[in-house]
Amino acid sequence: MSGAPLVPNLSALLGAEVANDLVKLAGGLGALAALPSTAIRHLGESSDDGDGTDAKFRVGVLLRAPLVSSVAREFRGKAASKVSNKARLAATVDASGSNPDGSFGEQVRNELAVAFEEMQAPPPGREEKPLAVPKALEKKQRAGVKLQRVNAKFKETLLERKAEVIQFGVDVDKQQDALLTSRDVLAAAHASKFEEEAKQKRIADNGGRPRTKDTSSVGIGSKRQASDDDLLD
């Protein structure tokens, strides 16, 4: 235990006994400060340990440090890695002779204790999100031109609605005849409308002039026929 006072920060971080063992295993304080953190983690590692703890976690004497031993078993490997990083810094501070009161080691130990508590804390529960407020009155949105054309194409006509209405006191045959007559009238009106549209389109294609039949050849033929008749007379 004589080496513990020489490493006040390392002793405050790991405990005097573990700090003394690390210095002995490394071959001195300067050699310990020069080692990487992974090597410090495995100092004193033994594969023939009775309970197999060191062999499983591959941790040396750091496993006996209060910071590591107080952590749950499944988190000790991760805790040993963090402690080995800070142990190298504490050994460097002790080798330089700064902070002889061990305040750096105590500060690092407190920070690691808080970090290990957070690491072992259970994960937060699933947050229940409230349901969205339903829309009481949804405003009807205007559809596009294409959809309006489709709806107009398959929209029920006035004649179809009348066909579904039965008038009481009127003969059914007469009702059907009236509907058929109305349908024929509407069909004729639509046909005339389409013919008029086609005619206007032909006029537009002809430069705004209506098409006329070419009667020049007919006139010449009739004149020739008349002259032949005169000669025969």
At residue 189 the predicted structure's pLDDT band, cuts being 50, 70 and 90, is low
**Which amino acid would we find at residue 29?**
L
**Alpha helical stretches, state H, 121-171:** 145-153, 158-163
Which tokens is 95 given? 């080798």
Q: CA 92, CA 89: separation in Å to the nearest integer?
A: 5
CA 74 centroid distance within chain: 34
Angle at 4 between CA 33 and CA 11, to 5 degrees: 70
Closest by Cα among 43, 42, 38, 46 to 23: 43
Domain 4-120: assigned CATH number:
1.10.246.90
- At 231, is the pLDDT very low, low, confident or very high (cuts 50, 70, 90)? very low
Contacts of 113 (CB under 8 A, 6+ apart): 67
User: Who has greater pLDDT, 110 or 152?
Assistant: 110
Q: How confident is the model at residue 92 (pLDDT cuts 50, 70, 90)?
A: very high
- Percent pLDDT > 70 in the chain is 60
pLDDT of residue 44: 83
Count Cβ atoms within 10 A of the Cβ of residue 210 and give its class: 0-12 exposed, 13-18 middle, 19 or more buried: exposed
Supply the DSSP symbol for 154.
Answer: S
Specify the pLDDT at position 3: 42
Is residue 114 very low, low, confident or very high in pLDDT (cuts 50, 70, 90)?
very high
- Structure tokens given for 159: 């004649």
Which residue spans of the chain are classified as CATH 1.10.246.90? 4-120
123-171 pLDDT, tens digit per residue, is 888 888 887 777 666 666 666 788 888 877 777 676 667 666 666 666 6
Residue 94 near residue 76 (C-beta atoms within 8 A): no
Q: How many whole angstroms separate alpha carbon 175 and alpha carbon 181?
A: 10
**Calculated CA dihedral for residues 86, 92, 93, 96, nearest 10 degrees:** 180
